[in-house]
Each structure stands twice: as C-alpha cells, then as structure tokens.
Structure 1
Amino acid sequence: MRNRREIRLGEVLFDPDSRDLRDKAGNRVELRNKSSEVLDFLAARPGQIVGKSEIMDAVWPEVTVSEESLTQCIADIRRAIGDKDQNYLKTHVGKGYSLAVSEASVTQRRRTVIVAAVLAVIAITASAIWTLTRPVPTPNASPRIAVLAFDDFSSGDDRGWLGDGIAEGVITELASYREFLVVARNSSFSFRDQSTDIAEIASKLNADYIVEGSKQKSGDRLRVTVQLINGHDGTHIWADEFNADLGELFGVQSEIVRSVATQLGRELAWSPAETGNPQKVNALHYFFLGNEAFETGTPDSYRQAIDFYEQAIAADPDAPFGYVGMATVLWSDITQGWVYPDVPREELLKRGVDYAEMAISIDPTYYAAHIARGDMHFSAGEHEQAIVRYLTAVELNPSSSTAMAVANDSLIYTDRTDEAIALMERAIEVNPITPGWYFNNLSRAYWFAGRCSEGEHAIRKRARLREWDYRALIVNLVCQNKLEEAQHAAKQLLELNPNFTVSAHADRVRGVMNNEDYYQRWVSDLRASGLPEG
C-alpha cells in the first residue's frame, strides 16, 4: 500500500490510493481514468514542473498518442477541481505542468451518491463551462493573438530543423487578415524556455488568445501539434495534430490559421493555401539560420549569415528567402563595412538592389522582400520610394513591427517626423517586449523634433548601449546643453570603437542623410561632445 495522504485542491480532495476525487460534502466527482492517472502522477511530484513527454510516457507507456490526449486530460482535471484560473494545475510554456497541493486531514465522508443526479450535474456543468469559456465574437473589437515559439521534439540531426519557421509562418499568415491583431514575433518568442504560465504571458503581451505548439521532424515527415488557449483564464479552446510531408508545410500553416479563425468565430476571406515543396522548405530553413547569425551583429556572424543565405538560394532558386537575406546583409554592410570594406558603395548598392528585385519578382506578396527593397532605396537616399516599400510591407504583414521601425529614418529625412514618432509608437505597441534599437529610432526622431529630453529618456531604456546608441545619446544631451554628460558618453563610445572619428562617420552617412538640416545638426552635435575629428 502506498499510504499517501489525501491532498486538497481548492474545494475538492484527491485520494492518491483510490484515485477518488470528492467535493467538500464527500460526493464523488467524476474524472476519466486517464485524467485520474495524470492527476496522480502530478500529485506524486508536488510543485515540480513535469515535462509533457514524461507524463505521456508514464500514463500511456505502450501506446503512441498525440499531445491532444494529454491536453484533454489537463482540461478535464481543471474542470473537475474548478481550477479556471490555474491556481493549482499550472501550464509552464515550453516546459510542461505543475501541481500545487496541500495535505488534508482524513475524515469520515458520505459515500452515497445518486448516480442520475450526479450525471445531470456533470452535464449541466459541462454545458455551462462551454458556454462561459468559449470565445464570443465581438464585432467591435479584433482579438489580439500571440503565437509562441513551438517546442521542438525532434531528435538527432532533425532537432533544430527550421528553427521558428513554422510559428513565424503562422504569425505572418494570421496577421495578413484584418480580423486579428497579432503580436510581433520578437515579443511572443521571448518566452522560449521559460517556466511562465499562460496567464502571465497573456498579461505581458496584452493578448486575448495564445497559440502554442510543437513540431517533430523525422526524415521527410513532419508532425505539428497546436493548441489555442484563452489568455484570460487559461482554458484550452482547441487542439489538433497535423502529420504531413515536408513539402506540405505551407499548407499546414494555412490550415492552422483557418482552424484558429474558426474557433474565434471569424470568417476569413477565401484564399488558396500556400504551396511549396521540400526544396522551398529547405530554403526557408537556411534563411532562418542566416537570420539567427545576422541578428548576432558581429563581422564573423555576418559572414556566417551570408553562407546560410547562399545555401538558401542553392536549395531553391525559385524561393525568395535567400535573396532577401543577401539584400539585408548588403544593406547593413554599406554602413558597417564589416564584410566588404573594399567594395565601392555603388557596387554594394547594385548587388543589394538585384537581390531585392529578384525576391519581389519571385513573390510580390512576401512582405520581407519589400522591406529589403526599401532598405536599398534607403541606402541610395531614395526615401520617398523607401517609405512606399516599407508601408507596403506593413500592409502585407501588419504584425511586422520591423517594417514599421525601419521606415523611421526615411520619414524623418522627408520632414515627416510626427509620422515617424507615431509609427514607432505603433511598433512598440505591436511588439511589447521591445527590441532595443526601436528606442534608438524613437530617440533620434524626438531629437530632430526638438523633444530632446524625451529622446534622452527613450535611448536610456536600452539595457546595454552600443556604439550607435551612444551617438543618439550624445546628440540628445548636446541638444539639452548637457555638455559634461555628452563628453562622458563620447568617452564610452570611444571605449567601444577607439577608431571612431567624426569626419569618417560624416563621410559614411552623407549619402543616406540627404536631409541637409538633419545632417548638419547631427554632425555638429557629435563634434560638440569632443569626439575626435580625425
């Protein structure tokens, strides 16, 4: 005999020996056998975060089941113990579940039950719960959805395949419908590998609904499991599993989007699902590897990104991904000079334009291709054309806070500073776990608008300042006549880049800053801080 004491879960008691669940009056609360086993398994590990695979292996030891089976059991337990707010049975995204328990004294309880009455109560309760927890369409408000990074249950060489490609594809396609507001990937993916419950994530992202899932690649086959969760109370609304060949990935993404829409009571305009093949999927895989390297932001990582982008083009020359990546690296290196320091600026521009135009010709609806083309317009000082491209990208993917943020400088240089500030504020709203460079953009917009104290406040929101952040800080300080603080910031900039000179920087940015007022003020304020002229 195990002789484990009964545990209290809110208003009910659970006996691990008999696996009976009873209310405070001693009446038995019905719970399916597998749900009882899941509860018993968690109760034996109070307060511990237990992985989904560990629970499934214990409860279904010789049977292959999908996560949907476990999800149904979790929902069944929460209904039985009245744990609508997840006070006891908690979901830890990317980790599993935990059960908070307390021991209860053993007392004599009534054991008589009128079966018909219990069944009637259960039926009424189930109906009431469905009525109260199912999403109700609100015609005057769009539901705000956050798609979290998917867990990777692949093994061996298949692990890490495609990175966040599936979840990002769902985000992009969901965002293309005006029926939804979709949180930007930078924010929703920031909870990866954190034991944070759904309600807290939803609160931080201001999300009504959370989409979480997992992927498992085995050779040329792919299994994707997805769940839709009410962000306000943590209840599971819908779950499904998709098994497909790799070439059917884009169709799976479209099916997920339509299933989510159906559950939220939204009728989407019909559009054919994206088509693809294994070559296109492999190109997307290399594209995401390249993006990961590019975002590291070092000379070596830029070279690694180029290698991945070239592999993406080789994998499928008829997919836009690799061309977008190459255009992005070239755009950045025009300013950084890390990879091609000896290549003339005009030649880098030409190469970047060719890559971006190729991406658009392959897929004119791919928002990232328009961002890439906008970047090249920007580098050429063609700011009106850049704005058109960036805003086209926002139209194609309204969740792309990146498209909003990169429009900032072109709007400033065309004397549309108020629009730049408004768009940056919108980008921060869409992306509440805000990337630091957004604050750099916003600070420079404030500076040019003469709102320099706000500009200083914005740039100081960055957790760690980089060289270009110190430049933004310096001009905002000089603008406020805080010269000692500006001189101190200049010394910190030189610690990061001892070779920095005002004249070299001025020459490098001259072709981009074709707003003469902005350019002259910028260079003058940097000089006023005492930075070396060169």
Structure 2
Amino acid sequence: MRFLKRNVLKSSEIDLGAAVFDVETRRLHDHSGEEIALRFRSREVLAVLMRQQGHIVGRSTLAEAAWDVKTVSDDSIAQCIADIRRALSDKGRRIVETVPRQGYRLVLPSVRSPTHPRSGETGRAPIPSGPAPEPRAPVIEVLRFDDLGTTGMGPPGLRDVLGEAIVIELARYPEMTVLHRAADSGPSGGRRAVQAISRTGSDYLVAGALLSDGKLGRLSIRLISARDLSCIWVEEFDFDLGELLALSRGIGRQVASAVGVKLIEIAEARIDRGDLSARLIENAARSRMLRNPSAAAFGRNIREQDIALDRYPDSAWGHLGQALALRTGIDSGWLTRDVEAASARAEDHVARAHALAPDNYLVHFALGKTLADKGHTGAAILALERATTLNPSSTMVLVGQITPNLDIGNTARALELISLARRINPAGNKYLQYQIARAHWRMGSPDKALRSLMASPGQTDDMRKLHAVAALELGRGDMARAALGLFLNANPHWNFEVESMAQRAQATPSAVIERWLSRLSEAGMPH
C-alpha cells in the first residue's frame, strides 16, 4: 500500500485519555478497540459536552439534547455524568468537571494514553498546553477497480492507469488524506475486499468497476463509508478509449472533483455532531455557499470561523475560511457596516494563511479573490492560476478566474475556463451555473446566461437577480419582474443603494456596474 499521508485516529474520533469517543457513532472504545459500555442517554450527554468542550453546558441544554425536553430531573443528569466518568476512568473529575449551580464542562486530558495499536507506536508525548490540536483530515482509500469484462488494452493496465489518475487528483486536496491500494497488493474493490479493507483505519473507500469493449468504456465509482459500508455517492463515466492518457486525466479530475465536493458536504454534518476542527469548519462553510448562499449561511460561517480561529490559531484553514467568508459577505451585500475594516481583516487573514500553508490551493484562491476585489486584476489572475496548478480538479478555482479575465478583456480565456469547468463537472452546481451564466451575460449573451440559469439544480438570490437582468435584455419583462419579485420577497429590506454598494465593493468595471444596476432598476428594484 502506498501512503500519501499518514495519521493515527479516525477523523471522527477524540482521545479522552483512557477511552476514545467516536462522534459519528456516539460509541466509546478503549485503545485496544474494545467497546466500553455506555447507556444511550449517557452517550447523548457526552456528545453534547464534546460539541462544546471547554465551555460550561447547562442542565437544560443537556436535557433538551439527550431527552428532547426542556427539563429533566437533576438525578437523571447526575446519573449520566457518573456513568460517563466511570467509562472514562475519571475518578478525579478532571475530564468532566462540575461547575456549581451552572452545569458541566468537558476538558480534554493533558496527557493521552498509549495510542491505538494500528498506529504502530508505543505511546505519545504529553499534549502541550495552549490551543487544542486540530483533528486530522478524513482518510480516503482508493481500491483497485473490479474488471467487469474488458478487451483491447489489458484489464490490469487500463484499471491501473485510471486508478493512478484518480489517486493523483485526489491527493491534490488537502481536505483529505489519501491512501492507494496498489494493483499488485491484493484484491480489487468487490464487497469482500471492501469488508476486509474497511478495518484498516480508513474513513472512506473509493471502489469501482470497469467495463470496456476496446473502443468504449464505462467506469462506475462508489464512495463508501468504511464505518458501516453504506454507499454515500455513486456515479458512472462513459468514455472513448482513443486517447487514454488525456482521457484518464480528465476522468481522474471528474472523480476527484465529485468526491471532494461530497466530503466537503459531509463536513457540515460532522461539525454538527461535535467533530470540530478548523479544516472541517472551513469545508462546511464552503459547502453551504456552494449549495445555497444566503445571508443566514454567511452569518453562521462567520461565527464558526471565529471558533476555528480561537481554537486553532496556527491552522491556515481558519484564516483562509474567515477571509473567504468576509469577502463573500462584502461582495454579496450581506455585510454593510465597517466594510473597509472587514476588507482589511480579510487581507490580514489571507496573509496569515499564506504564511502558514503556502502550498494550499485554497490559500491562493482566497488571495486571488482578495486581490481581484481590490482591483489588482493581474496579480489576482496569477494567484488564481497558482491555485489551479496546485489543484486542477477544483471547478470553484477554475471559475474563479473567469471574472478577472473578463475584466482585462480576455474573453478567449474565459470561454476556455468555462469549457474546462464543464468537462470536470458536467452535472454542474448552483455556484458553477451562476458563474458561467454571469460570464455569458457580461460577454453580451443574455440568452446563454438564461439557459445556464435554467440548467441549475436550484436558484439562489444572486441567480434570481441575474435571471431578472438577462430576461429584461431579451425583452421578457414579465419574467424579469417575477424573478426579481422572488428575490425581494426573500430580502424585503434590499434596495438599489445596497445593491450598488455590493457591486462597487467587487471592483467591477464601471460600465458593467451601470448596465447591471440599470436593468435591475427597470425590473423594479426599489430605490
């Protein structure tokens, strides 16, 4: 097996000294892997304490989370606390502290017990005092593909070329740790192999099957939870074998993009269950904005990034996450007070993130966004191109280059970026469809913009405004007013002044701003 990165505990596990708690399964086990008995209510109480570790949790909060009621007897809560302390061998009450007349607080032990045997170590040094250590990235293992019948190029060769391409592209994502089961190291990705390999410490498995007649091929891919072998995501890719090397790279990027997006989506559920880390908080924030950007999502992202910065000040993820959150709030008009100060904070966070992780593609993406919004278009393009070099599988980074290239009149490059993004993510998502639609509108093709919007899996507030603008330019006034009406119903306090401020905060060319604002005014944007 080839290791691209190496870590110890599963990403969902927290070491509590004598025991390890899995925030996904709500189960405790010792360092040999044996489960430690803990009643259901006690597990729920421990999960709540874990989510708010280091903070006092009141009895009413525990009651509502574990019993689904506002109040429950103090004896019931005390029994659960005693049960937890017994399971954790916490006789001195140093892990679960009682705070008189207020509640309880969970404090991670300052010294950990010997590691789980699978780490291959005999013990660990004491954890230094100070900020909490950031949990590791989820481990994803790529298995050798099944052969469902291939002709032409030998099955091992074709499977290995595609498998290697997928591993290379996945490894570009610092959001995950990647392992690769080499072609000559064991079985392929059938269910028996999956069951055996799921016990090696991976969090997720990528398994697949290949079918080919020598000219055409079909690759089916599955993302599987190693914990319970449930299938999280499945997709099929049909391809022509004529240009295998270029083809394998393209398929590798498609698979890596889809798997990366899926793991980013999972991050929100994980932090809701208490698996806090700066990386997961940033991933969850990105997932919200890719799925359904809104003022509410922006507010939550800012609050959670503050937690990341407080708990993990030396992690680049909190800094780049907060920088992106601030810029998104400014650009979208959700942040209207102290905009200059917020912009300066975003710059400071980008600089700190770059110092901490100069090879993280998202750091360069955040840097590019910040430079673009300050009007430094050339420098922004260089930063975004660097982000693409580090991770060419990210459609978010690819489409991030479109607007700066349009700002300098490089329409050919913008169209090339649109084509690349569509090849990597042919199904599209809201963020991708909006950026492509906005680019077509800027290039004077409102009809193409409208088609891209209609192809989106859903509509966001920005999409509704663009829908109104494009429809009006096509002479479809009723459609324009209806689209803008939907936006105003969701944002009743929005007006022409707020929209103007948001557009100018992005250093958009004046002619583009005037065209945009004029159309929105005609469609009924209140002044």
So what's the TM-score if we normalise by structure 2?
0.51
Confirm or deny that 1:345 pairs with 2:339.
yes
Q: Name which of 455, 459, 466 aligns with 1:465.
A: 459
SS in 1 for 2:211: coil
- Judged with a 3 Å threshold, the aligned counterparts in structure 2 of structure 1 residues 287 and 437 are, in CA distance, closer, same or farther, namely closer
Q: Name which of 157, 161, 170 aligns with 1:135.
A: 157
Aligned counterparts, 1:62-141, within 5 A: 84=148, 132-136=154-158
Deviation, structure 1 residue 214: 11
2:211 aligns to what?
Answer: 232
Describe the superposition over 1:45-66 as per-residue Cα deviations: whole angstroms up to 9, x where unpaired. xxxxxxxxxxxxxxxxxxxxx9
In 2, Cα distance between equivalents of 1:315 and 1:213: 36
In 1, Cα distance between equivalents of 2:499 and 2:440: 21
In the alignment, structure 1 segments of 5+ residues that lack a partner are: 1-65, 86-127, 150-163, 175-197, 200-210, 243-260, 266-280
For the 8 Å contact 1:444–1:472, the answer to whether it is kept is: yes
In 2, Cα distance between equivalents of 1:321 and 1:462: 29
In 1, Cα distance between equivalents of 2:219 and 2:519: 55
Give the AA of the match of 2:454. R
Q: Name which of 467, 474, 488 aligns with 2:468.
A: 474
1:360 aligns to what?
Answer: 354
Q: Name which of 145, 152, 163 aligns with 2:166.
A: 145
SS in 2 for 1:229: strand
Deviation, structure 1 residue 355: 0.4
Give the AA of the match of 1:471. K
Query: Quick check: which has more Rg, 1 or 2?
Result: 1
Confirm or deny that 1:531 pairs with 2:525.
yes
Q: Name which of 490, 499, 505 aligns with 2:484.
A: 490
Give the AA of the match of 2:465. R
1:330 aligns to what?
Answer: 326
- Judged with a 3 Å threshold, the aligned counterparts in structure 2 of structure 1 residues 307 and 404 are, in CA distance, closer, same or farther, namely same
SS in 1 for 2:358: coil
For the 8 Å contact 2:172–2:391, the answer to whether it is kept is: no
In 2, Cα distance between equivalents of 1:381 and 1:489: 30
Describe the superposition over 1:197-240 as per-residue Cα deviations: whole angstroms up to 9, x where unpaired. x99xxxxxxxxxxx9999989xxx94457455344369999xxx
The count of aligned residue pairs is: 323
Deviation, structure 1 residue 508: 2.5
Describe the superposition over 1:81-109 as per-residue Cα deviations: whole angstroms up to 9, x where unpaired. xxx36xxxxxxxxxxxxxxxxxxxxxxxx
In 2, Cα distance between equivalents of 1:235 and 1:455: 32
Give the AA of the match of 1:510. R
For the 8 Å contact 2:331–2:505, the answer to whether it is kept is: no
For the 8 Å contact 1:383–1:410, the answer to whether it is kept is: yes
- Judged with a 3 Å threshold, the aligned counterparts in structure 2 of structure 1 residues 467 and 136 are, in CA distance, closer, same or farther, namely closer
- Judged with a 3 Å threshold, the aligned counterparts in structure 2 of structure 1 residues 501 and 405 are, in CA distance, closer, same or farther, namely same
- Judged with a 3 Å threshold, the aligned counterparts in structure 2 of structure 1 residues 227 and 481 are, in CA distance, closer, same or farther, namely closer
Describe the superposition over 1:380-416 as per-residue Cα deviations: whole angstroms up to 9, x where unpaired. 2322222221111001111111111122222222222
Aligned-pair Cα RMSD in Å: 4.8
Deviation, structure 1 residue 472: 1.3
Confirm or deny that 1:169 pairs with 2:148.
no
Deviation, structure 1 residue 515: 1.2
In 1, Cα distance between equivalents of 2:503 and 2:196: 44
Deviation, structure 1 residue 365: 0.8
In 2, Cα distance between equivalents of 1:410 and 1:324: 20
Deviation, structure 1 residue 136: 4.0
Describe the superposition over 1:27-48 as per-residue Cα deviations: whole angstroms up to 9, x where unpaired. xxxxxxxxxxxxxxxxxxxxxx
Give the AA of the match of 1:505. E
For the 8 Å contact 1:213–1:224, the answer to whether it is kept is: no
Give the AA of the match of 2:328. S
Describe the superposition over 1:473-511 as per-residue Cα deviations: whole angstroms up to 9, x where unpaired. 222222222333323323333222233323331232123
- Judged with a 3 Å threshold, the aligned counterparts in structure 2 of structure 1 residues 147 and 397 are, in CA distance, closer, same or farther, namely closer
Deviation, structure 1 residue 357: 0.9
In 2, Cα distance between equivalents of 1:501 and 1:478: 18
SS in 1 for 2:370: helix
In 2, Cα distance between equivalents of 1:484 and 1:286: 41
- Judged with a 3 Å threshold, the aligned counterparts in structure 2 of structure 1 residues 308 and 498 are, in CA distance, closer, same or farther, namely closer
2:417 aligns to what?
Answer: 423
Aligned counterparts, 1:491-506, within 5 A: 491-506=485-500
1:435 aligns to what?
Answer: 429
2:293 aligns to what?
Answer: 297
Deviation, structure 1 residue 337: 4.7
In 2, Cα distance between equivalents of 1:286 and 1:214: 32
Give the AA of the match of 2:283. F
Give the AA of the match of 1:232. L
Aligned counterparts, 1:7-22, within 5 A: none
- Judged with a 3 Å threshold, the aligned counterparts in structure 2 of structure 1 residues 214 and 357 are, in CA distance, closer, same or farther, namely farther
Q: Name which of 386, 396, 401 aligns with 1:392.
A: 386
1:48 aligns to what?
Answer: none
In 2, Cα distance between equivalents of 1:431 and 1:146: 18
For the 8 Å contact 2:277–2:308, the answer to whether it is kept is: yes
Deviation, structure 1 residue 432: 2.4
1:44 aligns to what?
Answer: none
Deviation, structure 1 residue 454: 1.3
SS in 1 for 2:157: coil
For the 8 Å contact 1:283–1:319, the answer to whether it is kept is: yes
SS in 1 for 2:166: strand
For the 8 Å contact 1:213–1:226, the answer to whether it is kept is: no
SS in 1 for 2:364: helix
Give the AA of the match of 2:446. C
In the alignment, structure 2 segments of 5+ residues that lack a partner are: 1-117, 119-142, 181-188, 213-217, 227-244, 250-275
For the 8 Å contact 2:332–2:502, the answer to whether it is kept is: no
- Judged with a 3 Å threshold, the aligned counterparts in structure 2 of structure 1 residues 474 and 170 are, in CA distance, closer, same or farther, namely same
In 2, Cα distance between equivalents of 1:524 and 1:328: 29
In 2, Cα distance between equivalents of 1:430 and 1:352: 30
